[in-house]
Amino acid sequence: MPTDRRYDIVILGATGFTGALTAEYLAEHAPTDARWALAGRNQAKLEAAREGLVADHPDLADLPLLHADINDPESLRELAESTRVVITTVGPYLEFGGPLVAACAAAGTDYVDLTGEPEFVDRMYLEHHQTAVDSGARIVHACGFDSIPYDLGVLFTVKQLPTGVPLTVRGAVRAGGTFSGGTFHSALGQMSRGPQLQRAASERRKVEVRPQGRRVRGAAGKRPRRDSLLGYWLMPMPTIDPVVVRRSAAAREDYGPEFTYTHYAGFKHLPYAVGAAAGVLGLVGAAQIPPLRKLLLSRVPQGEGPSEAKRGRSWFTVELVGEGGGQQVVTKVSGGDPGYGETAKMLAESALSLAFDDNPTTAGQVTTAQAMGESLLDRLSKSGISFTVTRTSP
């Protein structure tokens, strides 16, 4: 990583809701000697964001404010060349993210985002992975609720199991809270682009190097079922999360010679599971009809979020069952508000880990378990996200 940069971390998007929470987290938890800044295209909004931080942190009165506009490649080049790590919360990423990834890959600058958009991630791999490998940049997507609880939860689970044997892990996520407007816009956008999404995935498979002498699979569950061990109805959850886990497993030999991960949403009662599945199918159908899609997007604005009180009542759990070598372990990842507070925490800690931890040597488009792994797991555990073993057998 370059050591001659003016800043350690720059946040692009701090004038939005999640970006502001990320900035607040850094204000509270960044090392006192960390050099960080806010970036955006609207100077007045940047100044207002800084004023909001100064109310609780007077020492940030001179926090640097940088001009950066996704429609201005020169400003993005200057931004990337000024810092060691860039955080961006500006989405939907398929629409707004590409130019910044390009700038960071070219400059050898580490990059983290919140995307859960598979097409965007695959396109960025195809267009910028090799450039990042050559420059030494670590491009780390999905550093929020997509997909850290699953990626690092599986890593935590694998560490409880024997080494050098085939492993299987299944995960069930449950949550109570409000999803973010940005997540909704990104998800609906991806639902409307099925052919493009499949094409990008196919093109990536043709060029991506596969692990030699090992077999790795990761997918959403194929059918609903009752899990007697966890006590939930499991519904297939076709998100980017199992894909991220598979890529981590492909990169890390400690996941064993054969590794399989299946991903579900968990429900205590079957009617809720059926209702959730029907809701997703309805959204997929609506996404195919432009006027209806536009109407839905207008009802869930980006850049806004729930009150602090409502966020305080929100929660999530991811329960994982790992098996291998005749042993079984059940683990749990749990935390507070998944859509905003914990997501901002995960994103900020990801950037802090890239900037300050002694991580494995990696470059190119990499996952959180691949790039930061145990360092980030330790950071998140200390920051209040719980990773626990709930039962083992035999």
* Signed CA dihedral, 362, 207, 130, 142: sign only: negative
Q: Which of 279, 375, 386, 258 is nearest to 323 (CA)?
A: 258
pLDDT of residue 248 exceeding 90, the answer is: yes
Measured in whole angstroms, the distance separating CA 349 from the mean position of its chain's CA atoms is 12
Q: How many CB atoms lie within 10 A of CB 282?
A: 10
Distance CA 317, CA 174 (A): 5
Q: What is the pLDDT of residue 120?
A: 97
Task: Identify which of 250, 235, 263 has the alpha carbon closest to the alpha carbon of residue 153.
Answer: 263
Helices (H), ranges, the chain: 17-29, 43-54, 73-82, 93-96, 98-107, 118-135, 148-158, 181-191, 194-207, 241-251, 270-287, 290-299, 308-312, 341-356, 368-371, 373-382
Cis before 92 (ω within 30): yes
b/e map of 307-339 (b: 16 or more CB within 10 Å)? eeeebeebebbbbbbbbbeeebbbbbbbbbbbb
- Strands 83-88 vs 110-112: parallel, antiparallel or unpaired: parallel
Q: Which of 10-19, 98-107, 177-186 has the lowest mean pLDDT?
A: 177-186
Q: With a cut of 70, say whether residue 68 has pLDDT above it.
A: yes
Contact 19, 46 (CB under 8 A): no
Read off the pLDDT band of 257 (50, 70, 90): very high
Q: CATH fold of 7-144+343-375, please?
A: Rossmann fold (3.40.50)
Across 33-60, average pLDDT: 97
Task: Tell me which of 1-15, 104-118, 159-173, 271-285 is least confident.
Answer: 271-285
Give the integer Cα–Cα distance in Å for 202 and 70: 28
CA distance 236 to 353: 32
Cβ–Cβ < 8 Å for 65, 50:
yes
The pair of structure tokens assigned to 24 is 């607040």
pLDDT of residue 291: 80
Angle, nearest 10°, between helix axes 118-135 and 98-107?
20
Q: How far is CA 153 from CA 260, 281, 337, 377, in A?
A: 14, 28, 17, 9
Q: Would you call 231 exposed, middle or buried from its count of C-beta atoms within 10 A (0-12, 13-18, 19+)?
A: exposed
CB half-sphere exposure, 264, CA atoms < 13 A: 24
Mean pLDDT of the chain: 92
Query: HSE-up of 161 (CA within 13 Å, CB side)?
Result: 27
Per residue in 300-356, pLDDT tens? 676 666 677 777 788 999 999 999 999 999 999 999 999 889 999 999 999 999 999
Could you tell me which of 60, 61, 102, 50 has the C-alpha nearest to residue 81? 102
Q: Tell me how crowded residue 203 is: count the other CB atoms within 10 A of its CB.
A: 14
- Report the C-alpha gap between 343 and 22 in whole angstroms: 8
Is residue 157 within 8 Å of 250, Cβ to Cβ?
Answer: no
